[in-house]
């Protein structure tokens, strides 16, 4: 009987290796084929062919990850060009000092006097407690050239000594009807008939001369910000609130005129402020007394009311003032533009690329103060993208409200820092920065 021959051991080992390798190859091919089918199905099932993130549940089936809910704060607009000196200053400031810089108030708001006409020890003590970013003056504060110059000079010196940075000293000096200085008989300066008359001339060199002349006497007195020009286009014949303060009904002419006033002011040492974005010329209501509305959409306003602002940004105004107009067709409710993130950040910052200071119109106007508390209005404006808060109805309540919002997380430290950086950047660029 023949014995069965056994295979040598050296032959069995390679055969085992070959079998293992072939098995691995087959598994890899199978997995790759499955992944390709999954990727193809995913690409076909999403808009634009973009793949969604995938996960596998315990049973092995493929599931798309749900999109994260957009519940966090809006992205903060941070200026790309901030000097290191400014960044260092902001880092050294307390939260209270930063919050104070966001406010532009009357001298009475911090001193509690009826009508401030001098700046003495009471002013100094008040500024030590509330080193605000800006102070605005009205006719009640203005008696004559010497008095006004001395008051502004002392106030500025106090600010530099106490806060280490200059203070904005502002005034409404549009020319024409709104002229706090030229309207005082004790000042021998030119007072214009109206900006409408300048617009009717269709001569943009006259608009430049207006800005140049305003700056010549405002700077000499001690002001560094003029809340002018008015860039509103009259698109509603029933509008009497703006009236002859506007250059007229032609959007492009108004844009050209307003831009030249900006250049005339800023070429001669005074910061200009285009107002009232996105435009109040189509309203009939007075936002000083009630809510002001337009039945247009933002897209429609871009074709008329916004043109002077869109074009005016090219003149690089140091400030743009946001008006309290409600645009329900676009915003969905009665929120004023001055408190709307869609308007301030979405349009003015992101779409039109404005990198200067955004300041609200006066927050004590009934369009705002009749609906929101001083704290609510101030926090909403900052959340929307405003840098400075003009004249809240109760400054101290508004100031506390901003501090509380940062401490609670409703306002981020990053959001506050971004605005303070823009404020200090302008002060460093234009003024005597210590």
pLDDT digits (tens, 9 = 90+) for 113-153: 999 999 999 999 999 999 999 999 999 999 999 999 999 99
pLDDT at 5 over 50: no
Q: Which domains does the chain have, with CATH numbers?
A: 102-430 (3.20.20.300)
List Cβ neighbours of 218 (8 Å cut-off, separation of 6 or more).
171, 173, 181, 226, 270
β-strand partners of 175: 178
Mean pLDDT of the chain: 86
* Cis-peptide, bond into residue 278, ω within 30° of zero: yes
Q: Which tokens in the block code for residue 424?
A: 């200090």
11 pLDDT tier (thresholds 50, 70, 90): very low
Beta strand pairing status for 103-105 and 134-137?
Answer: parallel
Half-sphere exposure of 279 (CA within 13 A, CB side): 34
pLDDT in tens, 223-252: 999 999 999 999 998 888 899 999 999 999
DSSP letter string, 293-317: E-SS-HHHHHTTTTHHHHHHGGG--
Alpha carbon dihedral 424, 428, 431, 434, in 10-degree steps, equals: 100
Question: Is position 200 annotated as part of the catalytic site?
Answer: no
Q: How far is CA 86 from the centre of its chain?
A: 18
pLDDT in tens, 301-347: 999 999 999 999 999 999 999 999 999 999 999 999 999 999 999 99
Residues 137 and 422: their CA atoms lie apart, in Å, by: 23
Report which of residues 243 and 33 the model is more confident about. 243
Nearest to 372 by CA among 343, 354, 394: 394
| Residue 378 burial (CB count, 10 A) | 32
From 122, 209, 288, 350, the catalytic residue: 288
74 pLDDT tier (thresholds 50, 70, 90): low
pLDDT at 21 over 70: no
Question: Is position 232 annotated as part of the catalytic site?
Answer: no
Residues 159 and 133: their CA atoms lie apart, in Å, by: 9
Nearest to 279 by CA among 316, 314, 249, 315: 249
pLDDT in tens, 390-421: 999 999 999 999 999 999 999 999 999 999 99
What's the Rg (C-alpha) of the chain?
31
Read off the pTM.
0.82
Residues 34 and 37: their CA atoms lie apart, in Å, by: 5
pLDDT at 356 over 50: yes
From 232, 244, 318, 361, the catalytic residue: 361
Outline where 45-54 has alpha helix (H): none
List Cβ neighbours of 196 (8 Å cut-off, separation of 6 or more).
176, 243, 244, 245, 246, 247, 248
Q: Which tokens in the block code for residue 98?
A: 């930063």
β-strand partners of 63: 55
pLDDT in tens, 169-185: 999 999 999 999 999 99
Measured CA to CA in angstroms, residue 96 lies from 90, 333, 381, 413 at distances of: 12, 33, 18, 12
């Amino acid at each position: 009987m023949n014995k069965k021959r056994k295979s040598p051991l050296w032959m069995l080992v390679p055969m085992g290796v070959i079998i293992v390798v072939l098995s691995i190859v087959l598994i890899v091919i199978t997995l790759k084929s499955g992944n390709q089918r999954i990727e193809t199905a995913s690409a076909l099932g999403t808009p634009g062919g973009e793949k969604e993130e995938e996960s596998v549940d315990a049973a092995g089936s493929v599931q798309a990850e749900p999109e994260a809910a957009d519940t966090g704060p809006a992205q903060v607009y941070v200026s790309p060009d901030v000097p290191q000196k400014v960044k260092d200053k902001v880092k050294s400031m307390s939260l209270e000092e930063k919050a104070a810089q966001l406010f532009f108030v009357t001298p009475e708001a911090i001193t509690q006097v009826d009508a401030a006409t001098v700046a003495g020890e009471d002013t100094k003590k008040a500024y030590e407690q509330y080193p605000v970013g800006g102070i605005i003056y009205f006719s009640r504060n203005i008696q004559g050239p010497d008095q006004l110059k001395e008051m502004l000079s002392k106030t500025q010196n106090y600010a530099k000594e106490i806060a280490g940075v200059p203070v904005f000293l502002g005034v409404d000096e549009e020319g024409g009807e709104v002229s706090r200085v030229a309207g005082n008989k004790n000042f021998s300066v030119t007072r214009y008939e109206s900006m409408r008359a300048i617009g009717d001339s269709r001569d943009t060199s006259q608009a430049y001369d207006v800005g140049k002349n305003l700056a010549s006497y405002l700077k000499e007195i001690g002001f560094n910000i003029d809340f002018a020009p008015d860039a509103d286009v009259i698109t509603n014949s029933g509008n009497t609130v703006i009236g002859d303060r506007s250059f007229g009904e032609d959007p492009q002419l108004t844009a050209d005129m307003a831009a030249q006033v900006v250049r005339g002011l800023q070429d001669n040492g005074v910061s200009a402020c285009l107002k009232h974005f996105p435009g109040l010329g189509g309203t009939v209501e007075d936002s000083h007394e009630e809510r002001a509305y337009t039945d247009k959409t933002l897209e429609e306003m871009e074709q008329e009311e916004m043109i002077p602002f869109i074009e005016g940004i090219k003149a690089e105004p140091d400030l743009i003032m946001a008006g309290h107009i409600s645009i329900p067709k676009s915003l969905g409710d009665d929120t004023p533009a001055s408190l709307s993130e869609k308007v301030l950040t979405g349009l003015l910052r992101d779409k039109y690329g404005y990198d200067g200071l955004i300041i609200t119109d006066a927050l004590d106007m009934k369009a705002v103060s009749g609906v929101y508390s001083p704290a609510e209005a101030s926090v909403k404006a900052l959340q929307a993208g405003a840098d400075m808060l003009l004249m809240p109805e109760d400054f101290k309540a508004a100031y506390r409200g901003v501090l509380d919002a940062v401490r609670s997380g409703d306002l981020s430290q990053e959001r506050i820092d971004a605005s303070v950086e823009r404020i200090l950047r302008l002060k460093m660029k234009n003024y005597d920065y210590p």
